[in-house]
Amino acid sequence: MKQSFSELINSDTPLLVDFYADWCGPCKTMAPVIQDIAKETDGKMKVIKIDTDKNPAISQQYGIQGIPTFILFKKGKVLWRQSGAMPKNQMTNQIKAFL
């Protein structure tokens, strides 16, 4: 069963959303980093990718200006938000503080 975006972000399980676009170089750089973090935090958090070109309403709702933008949600609240590419260890450390 496919959950809606609002169902996903309102979950008790933290959800990391990667706002990206296919044409975005830094987004491509971050894709394997996000996959690694998803594997390492398996079960503690979910990870989804949202293509800003295909989902403009969600992108506008969260004021996505630059991509990639990462937002960590839990129970509908934004726990953490960061735009731009970053080293994996930096991202992991920031996210783990909320898990």
Mind telling me the catalytic residues? 24, 27
CA nearest to 50, candidates 75, 73, 99: 73
Quote the tokens at residue 78. 């934004």
**Is-cis flag, bond preceding 68, omega within 30?**
yes
Quote the tokens at residue 9. 């972000």
| Residues sharing a CB contact under 8 Å with residue 42, sequence separation 6 or more, in sequence order | none
- Bridge-partner residues for 82, per DSSP? 70
